[in-house]
Amino acid sequence: MKRRPTALLVAGLVAALALGVGLGATAYSTVADGTTTVVREVSTSARVPTGTTEGLTIGEIYEQTHEGVVEITAGGSAARAQGSGFVYDDAGHVVTNQHVVEGASSLSVLFWDGSRHSARLVGTDPSTDLAVIEVEAPQALLDPLRLGDSGDVAVGDQVVAMGSPFGLEGTVTSGIVSALHRQMTAPNNFPINDSIQTDAAINHGNSGGPLLDGQGRVIGVNAQIESESGGNDGVGFAIPSDTVRSIVTQLIESGEVEHAYLGIKMLDVADGAAITEVVPGTPADDAGLRPATGTSTIDGQEVPTGGDVIVAFDGDDVSSSAALQSAVEAKQPGDEVSITVLRGAERTTLRVTLGTRPS
C-alpha cells in the first residue's frame, strides 16, 4: 500500500513534521503504537459554489466568529512555531493542536485587534493532538466560539476554515466536507478516529484553527493535510468536535487525559478484527490474547492466520478494527471487560483489565 505524506500544519521557523497515512481501499487500525490508515472510504460529493453556506453566508460566519479565532506563537530553545487556535470559554482557555505548543518555553496569543497577550500551557493530549492554553487577556477580548456536534455532520456539508496560514492572521477559506470517519495519526503514533476530511484550503499555520459549519459552530480542529508538495492539495483533516469536547473538558479539569489501552495491532477480516501483534507486557498480553502466526492469500490479499480474531467486546459484536478501537476508547483505564475471540474453530471469552495508554 502506497504511503503518502500527511503534514502537521505548524508554520514558522520550524519545518513541518511528516506523518504517514494511507488511502487504500483496505483499512486497518491499531490500538498499540503504529501507523494507521483510513477507517473506510466515503464517496465525496461534487464540489458546490462556495459563495454561501447552508444557513449563513461566509461573510456572516466570519463576522460572527473572527474575534474568537487567534494566532499562537510558541517559543522554544531551538526555534519558534506558529499556529492557530480559538477561544473556548470566558476564563481565557484557548484550544489548539498539541504539536503547535509541544516543547514551548513561552506562549503568546495574537487577537483580531492586533494585541498580543502572554499565555500558559494548561495541558496537552498527544493521542488526540489537542492542547489547551490559558491567555492573560482582557475579558472584552474573550469571544468564545460555539462547539457543534460532529456526529451530525454529513458528506457534502459546506464548511469554513479559519486561522493564520503562513502567519496571515484572520484568513478564511471555504469548501465542503469531503468525507467522514477518516483516521489521522497523532504525534505519538496513535490513531485519531472519525476525523473530518475537507477540501477547504488549509496550510501550514492553520493548525489548531476551527473548522466551522454553516451556523458558525466549531465542528473540528484543523490538524493535518495530505500533500505530495507540502502545500494545500485540497485534502485536509480536522479533529472532530465531539472528541474536542471530551478531551478539552478533561484537560481543563486536570491538565491531562488518560486513555484506555489494550495493546494490540489488528487487521480487518470478514469475522471481525484479527490480531496481528500483541505488545509484550500489555493487558492483551496478560490476558492471553494470541497474535497471528502466519498469513494466507485470499482474493489476492494477504490475511493473518493462526491467531485470535476478536468478534465481541464487552458483549457487543465487533465488525471491524475501527469499531473495536472506538469501544476501547469509550472505556477507562482499570475497567474490566470481556473479549470474545475466534481461536481456530472455537469461540473463547477472556477477561481483560484495560491499562493506561503510554504517552
Instruction: Tell me which residues are annotated as active site.
Output: 99, 129, 207
Residue holding cell 474575534?
A: 67
List the grid coordinates of 200: 477547504
Residues 97/211, Cβ–Cβ less than 8 Å = no
d(CA 298, CA 319): 19
Number of helical (H) and strand (E) elements in the chain, helices listed first: 5, 26
Sign of CA dihedral 298, 304, 307, 312: negative
Q: Buried b / exposed e across 276-294, counting CB within 10 Å, b at 16+?
A: bbbbeebbbbebebebbee
- Determine whether 189 is exposed, middle or buried from the number of CB atoms within 10 Å of its CB (0-12, 13-18, 19+): middle
Closest CA to 11 of 234, 167, 133: 167
Three-class SS state of 219: strand
Short-list 95, 59, 56, CA closest to 220? 95
* Strand-pair partners of 118: 108
Bridge-based pairing of strands 264-268 and 28-30 is antiparallel
Q: Which three cell numbers stand for residue 24?
A: 487504500
**DSSP E strands, 164-300:** 171-185, 191-198, 210-212, 218-226, 236-240, 260-261, 264-268, 273-278, 294-298
